[in-house]
């Protein structure tokens, strides 16, 4: 063949595979040799430097520690004593110089005597401190390494210095001895490569009968085209029962999977008779075998495979047409199969629109060429369908198949069937309509009167037959399904009409189930949303933003309704509480439990308890919920799953910039610092709520102004295709990518990076950027335990209120402070401290060391006391007691009459 095409063969011809492999091998060898040379040179340089350092340090230390060194340095002429010794050691140790000097760096010895008495060039500071110094430098004799070591006297002080140096050229040269071996090895490999390439090239030419790559490619393309173009199935099976080749027709006739080559025939899922025939290899001629719903004529012959196992070639021909007499039975079986498949492919989700799309897609592929589905507007909203009639507003919900442009109404278009047509008369009462020949424009049915111009376009585009069937479930009309034929030449007939009615009836049940689920799901989501905060409360402690995204609906009736929640709760003293929680599970039970827990958190927060104590109370509540709902009411029924919940509770104080938090089984919060850096806070983790058994710990942090606290539920960072650690790392990278972003922008960035296409779990995200209350809006005084100090505190408070422009509040504040400070002096112990905070309200706080809380009493007319707290309750908008680690704080809040004078906290990063 090579001679025939006039192209001489050569091992080194680049158009041959062998030549290309040879070039690749040569390139690899050259690269390996170059890499080896580079590595050898680098290693030689590294070894030379290391050897120079070791030799110079060893010689210098050995000479410095030699006996009599201290005496020689203190002798009248150190040079006369040390120069001969140094030269002897230098020549014997093969170093370039050995210098002894005093502590000022003046040389006593040197190989060149004219440099004795001059100052040494090098670093001496560390050596004078008792350390060994090695350094690379370039001297008059070239690049070298020198070491300086101290000479320590008997009293431990440095009395002199010794330096030894070695040039790098003296210790190099190892690589030169290895270059001949390296180049010799490379030459040997190239010779072996050349010989191997020549042998492979000759063997390839012998096995391919002299065909070149182009000829072999052309022959393969012709063979493949013919093999897969014939309308007969071709199979080649080896003697060991392994399938070697199957063309496209064989795959279609036997319904073979795509990766059949190389597999055993017994593993292909064929019926036993066909599999046994293919494995036997026996000779057959036109033997008819039923395979599925086909009758196949099989021809099989044995063939010889040179040097290998015997094989057999099998051809298959579809002879189903021979069963024309039994066609009706097959048709009935096919229709039953269609209805069965429709039951598995339509109604796979509890979504009305998607169920309609499944009906349209299935009907277009298996029954009509084009299918349109129209639903009543009320059904799309999940409501009960209204009374049937031609005036019922419907909307095109789904279209299946290839619709010619401008022929049918598109998806989303409102549809009303005209009462002058059969569609407008019969569909609303539940009767189907068959139009076998649309081009006839029958005046009886009058389908064209719905839209005459569109009717002409429908016929012009080749749509020739129509079946319209009402979607009816439980006696109510939900909409209509219309089947159109265009590519299929046969028109619809009565049998097709009955099949369409059965198909639509089954789909209507699924659509109605989806509608009812949509209604119940909407009610559940509405209930859940009503339990979540709709807006953030007014407060000055943080600039906050939140996002709440329910899980996607369709998860077995549970999707879309979950138990994630968040909250921002203003607390006394201008503080704020940040809460994020997650109730295990989905559905109304989880949403109701979430509402109960959120209400409980609000109640416990109003008691102003610390985070760890609040979580303890919440844990007790969840435990009681599980106990109360664990049985069916009789105490004998099966127990429902344990509720289980996680929660993170944080309190931020803008007056001090302090945040305390605790968590119960919740994911760690993220802190975004003002400079843009992000890190997860190590908040001590307690068990999830309801498990109990362990206490909760509190974490206290000092947050810089403008810090961002990111609280979230695990649905944000965990997904089916991503574990929670990877999600948390992605969240940290996303929010730590740049400073200065507002909480709103941070929420959008987090959801943009982590939100999956169909969230399987609820997502609650709360981001708060901390503020600091202006120090000028805070005033505090230490009060001595002396009744006369009450007047002084009142006077100081009045002056501060005048400074703040709150003169109208002075009288009320004086009364409140008089009562609170007097009670603290009379009944409490320890130091007393008074603090005024000018925030959205005027806050008065009196702190003492007593843990006894005052109680509001209603004094009788004859009592002389007991009216103080009653008076405070009447004057203040709110009042209460907050316990601290060393006592308590009694606080009051007075509403400010002018909202325009409410101060704005400093450091608002959102503006």
Contacts of 716 (CB under 8 A, 6+ apart): 727, 731, 750, 751, 754, 755, 763, 764, 765
For the range 78-83, what are the long-range contacts, defined as Cβ-Cβ under 8 Å and sequence gap of 24 or more? Answer: 78/102, 78/108, 79/108, 79/109, 79/116, 82/108, 82/109, 83/108, 83/109, 83/113, 83/116
What is the torsional sign of CA 290, 295, 296, 298?
positive
Q: What gap in Å lies between CA 568 and CA 559, rounded to an integer?
A: 26
Task: Reduce the DSSP state of residue 196 to 3 states and report it.
Answer: helix
Give the pLDDT confidence score for residue 13 in this predicted structure. 46
Question: Which tokens hold the place of 496?
Answer: 């097709």
Task: Reduce the DSSP state of residue 720 to 3 states and report it.
Answer: coil
How far is C-alpha 349 from the chain's CA centre? 26
Q: If we measure between CA atoms, which residue out of 766, 285, 772, 283 comes closest to residue 532?
A: 766
Give the pLDDT confidence score for residue 744 in this predicted structure. 94
Asked if 890 contacts 820 with a C-beta cutoff of 8 angstroms, the reply is yes
Point out the residues of the chain with pLDDT beneath 50. Answer: 1-14, 325, 389-390, 553-558, 633, 635, 859-866, 899-901, 904-911
How far is C-alpha 793 from the chain's CA centre? 57
Q: If we measure between CA atoms, which residue out of 536, 643, 540 comes closest to residue 587?
A: 643
Q: What gap in Å lies between CA 870 and CA 151, rounded to an integer?
A: 87
Element (H, E) at 32: helix 17-64
For tokens 């579809």, name the residue: 318
Give the pLDDT confidence score for residue 68 in this predicted structure. 83
State the angle between helix axes of 724-735 and 743-754 in degrees (0 to 180), rounded to the nearest 10.
140
End-to-end CA distance of the chain: 82
Give me the phi and psi of 445, to 5 degrees please. Answer: -80, -35
Question: Which tokens hold the place of 406?
Answer: 């401008």
Asked if 705 contacts 657 with a C-beta cutoff of 8 angstroms, the reply is yes
Asked if 134 contacts 58 with a C-beta cutoff of 8 angstroms, the reply is no
Asked if 664 contacts 644 with a C-beta cutoff of 8 angstroms, the reply is no
> pLDDT (tens digit, 9 = 90+) per residue, 822-848?
888 888 777 889 999 998 889 999 998
Give the pLDDT confidence score for residue 152 in this predicted structure. 86
pTM score: 0.54
For the range 847-851, what are the long-range contacts, defined as Cβ-Cβ under 8 Å and sequence gap of 24 or more? Answer: 847/884, 847/887, 847/888, 847/889, 847/890, 848/824, 848/887, 848/888, 849/886, 849/887, 850/824, 850/887, 850/888, 851/883, 851/887, 851/888
Q: What gap in Å lies between CA 30 and CA 182, rounded to an integer?
A: 11
**Is residue 384 packed enough to be buried (19+ CB in 10 Å), middle (13-18) or exposed (0-12)?**
exposed
Task: Reduce the DSSP state of residue 839 to 3 states and report it.
Answer: coil
Strand pairing category for 97-101 and 158-167? antiparallel
For the range 261-266, what are the long-range contacts, defined as Cβ-Cβ under 8 Å and sequence gap of 24 or more? Answer: 265/237, 265/241, 266/241
Q: What gap in Å lies between CA 586 and CA 763, rounded to an integer?
A: 12
**Is residue 400 packed enough to be buried (19+ CB in 10 Å), middle (13-18) or exposed (0-12)?**
buried
Q: If we measure between CA atoms, which residue out of 170, 122, 115, 181 comes closest to residue 146?
A: 122
Asked if 472 contacts 478 with a C-beta cutoff of 8 angstroms, the reply is yes
Asked if 771 contacts 907 with a C-beta cutoff of 8 angstroms, the reply is yes
What is the torsional sign of CA 400, 402, 408, 412?
positive
Give the pLDDT confidence score for residue 43 in this predicted structure. 65
Q: What gap in Å lies between CA 460 and CA 652, rounded to an integer?
A: 73
**Is residue 856 packed enough to be buried (19+ CB in 10 Å), middle (13-18) or exposed (0-12)?**
exposed
Q: What gap in Å lies between CA 560 and CA 525, rounded to an integer?
A: 7
Q: What gap in Å lies between CA 845 and CA 835, rounded to an integer?
A: 5
Asked if 243 contacts 312 with a C-beta cutoff of 8 angstroms, the reply is no
Give me the phi and psi of 829, to 5 degrees please. Answer: -135, 160
Contacts of 516 (CB under 8 A, 6+ apart): 382
DSSP state of 632: S
Alpha helices in 741-866 (DSSP H): 743-754, 789-804, 810-827
Q: What gap in Å lies between CA 719 and CA 731, rounded to an integer?
A: 13
DSSP state of 805: T
Contacts of 497 (CB under 8 A, 6+ apart): 432, 434, 467, 469
Element (H, E) at 178: helix 174-207
Strand pairing category for 562-570 and 670-672? unpaired
Give the pLDDT confidence score for residue 788 in this predicted structure. 83
Give the pLDDT confidence score for residue 87 in this predicted structure. 87
Beta-bridged to residue 138, according to DSSP, are: 143
Asked if 590 contacts 617 with a C-beta cutoff of 8 angstroms, the reply is no
User: Beta-carbon neighbour count of residue 642 at 10 Å?
Assistant: 17
Q: What angle do CA 680, 683, 685 make, to 5 degrees?
A: 120
């Amino acid at each position: 063949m090579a001679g025939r095409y006039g192209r001489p063969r050569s091992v080194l011809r680049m158009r041959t595979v062998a030549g290309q492999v040879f070039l690749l091998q040569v390139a690899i060898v050259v690269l390996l040799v170059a890499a080896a040379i580079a590595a050898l040179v680098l290693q030689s340089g590294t070894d030379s430097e290391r050897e120079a350092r070791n030799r110079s340090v060893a010689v210098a230390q050995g000479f410095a520690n030699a006996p009599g060194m201290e005496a020689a340095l203190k002798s009248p002429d150190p040079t006369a004593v040390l120069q001969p010794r140094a030269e002897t050691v230098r020549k014997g140790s093969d170093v370039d110089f050995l210098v002894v000097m005093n502590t000022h760096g003046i040389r006593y010895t040197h190989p060149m005597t004219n440099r004795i008495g001059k100052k040494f060039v090098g670093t001496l500071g560390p050596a004078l401190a008792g350390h060994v110094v090695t350094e690379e430098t370039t001297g008059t004799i070239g690049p070298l390494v020198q070491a300086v070591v101290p000479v320590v006297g008997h009293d431990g002080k440095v009395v002199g210095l010794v330096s030894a140096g070695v040039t790098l050229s003296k210790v190099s040269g190892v690589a030169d001895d290895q270059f001949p071996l390296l180049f010799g090895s490379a030459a040997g490999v190239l010779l072996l490569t050349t010989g191997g390439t020549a042998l492979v090239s000759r063997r390839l030419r012998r096995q391919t009968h002299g065909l070149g790559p182009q000829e072999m490619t052309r022959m393969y393309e012709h063979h493949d085209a013919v093999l897969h173009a014939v309308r007969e199935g071709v199979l080649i099976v080896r003697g060991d029962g392994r399938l070697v080749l199957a063309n496209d027709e064989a795959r279609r006739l036997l319904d073979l999977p795509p990766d059949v080559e190389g597999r055993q025939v017994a593993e292909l899922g064929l019926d036993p008779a066909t599999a046994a025939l293919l494995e036997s290899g026996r000779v057959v001629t036109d033997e008819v075998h039923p395979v599925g719903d086909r009758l196949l004529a099989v021809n099989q012959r044995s063939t010889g495979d040179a040097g290998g196992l015997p094989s057999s070639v099998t051809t298959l021909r579809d002879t189903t047409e021979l069963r024309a007499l039994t066609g009706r039975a097959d048709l009935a079986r096919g229709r039953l199969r269609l209805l069965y498949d429709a039951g598995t492919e339509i109604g796979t989700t509890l979504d009305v629109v998607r169920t309609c799309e499944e009906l349209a897609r299935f009907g277009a592929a298996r029954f009509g060429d084009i299918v349109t589905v129209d639903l009543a507007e009320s059904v799309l909203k999940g409501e009960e369908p209204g009374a049937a009639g031609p005036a019922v507003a419907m909307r095109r919900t789904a279209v299946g198949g290839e619709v010619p442009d401008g022929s049918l109404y598109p998806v989303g278009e409102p549809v009303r069937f005209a009462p002058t047509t059969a569609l407008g008369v019969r569909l609303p009462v539940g009767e189907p309509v068959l139009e076998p020949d649309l081009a006839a424009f029958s005046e009886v049915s009058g389908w064209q009167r719905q839209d005459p111009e569109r009717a002409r376009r429908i016929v012009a585009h080749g749509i020739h037959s129509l079946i319209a069937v009402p979607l009816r479930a439980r006696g109510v009309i939900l909409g209509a399904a219309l089947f159109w034929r265009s590519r299929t030449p046969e028109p619809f007939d009565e049998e097709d009409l009955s099949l369409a009615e059965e198909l639509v009836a089954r789909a209507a049940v699924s659509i109605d189930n989806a509608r009812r689920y949509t209604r119940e799901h909407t009610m559940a989501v509405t209930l859940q949303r009503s339990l979540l905060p709709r807006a953030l409360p007014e407060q000055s402690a943080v600039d906050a933003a939140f996002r709440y995204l329910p899980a996607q609906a369709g998860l077995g009736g549970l999707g879309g309704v979950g138990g994630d929640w968040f909250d921002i709760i203003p607390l006394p003293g201008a503080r704020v509480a940040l809460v994020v929680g997650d109730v295990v599970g989905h559905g109304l039970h989880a949403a109701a439990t979430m509402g109960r827990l959120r209400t409980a958190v609000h109640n416990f927060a109003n008691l102003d308890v610390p985070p760890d104590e609040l979580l303890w109370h919440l844990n007790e509540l969840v435990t009681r919920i599980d106990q109360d709902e664990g049985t069916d009411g009789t105490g004998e029924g099966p127990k429902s799953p344990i509720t289980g919940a996680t929660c993170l509770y944080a309190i931020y104080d803008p007056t001090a910039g302090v945040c305390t938090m605790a968590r119960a089984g919740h994911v760690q919060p993220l802190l975004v610092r003002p400079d843009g850096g992000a890190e997860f806070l190590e908040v001590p983790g307690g068990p999830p709520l309801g498990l109990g058994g362990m206490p909760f710990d509190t974490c206290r942090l000092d947050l810089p102004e403008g810090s961002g606290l990111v609280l979230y539920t695990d649905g944000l960072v965990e997904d089916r295709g991503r574990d929670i650690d990877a999600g948390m790392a992605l969240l940290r990278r996303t929010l730590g990518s740049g400073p200065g972003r507002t909480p709103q922008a941070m929420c959008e960035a987090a959801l943009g990076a982590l939100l999956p296409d169909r969230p399987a779990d609820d997502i609650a995200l709360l981001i708060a950027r901390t503020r600091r209350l202006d120090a000028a809006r805070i005033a505090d005084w230490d009060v001595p335990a002396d009744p006369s100090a009450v007047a002084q505190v009142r006077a100081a408070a009045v002056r501060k209120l005048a400074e703040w422009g709150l003169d109208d509040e002075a009288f009320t504040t004086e009364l409140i402070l008089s009562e609170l400070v007097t009670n603290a002096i009379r009944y409490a112990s320890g130091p007393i401290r008074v603090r005024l905070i000018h925030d959205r309200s005027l806050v008065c706080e009196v702190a003492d060391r007593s843990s006894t809380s005052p109680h509001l009493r209603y004094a009788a007319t004859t009592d002389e006391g007991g009216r103080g707290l009653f008076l405070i309750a009447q004057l203040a908008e709110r009042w209460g007691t907050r316990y601290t680690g060393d006592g308590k704080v009694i606080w009051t809040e007075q509403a400010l009459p002018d909202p325009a004078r409410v101060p704005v906290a400093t450091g608002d990063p959102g503006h």
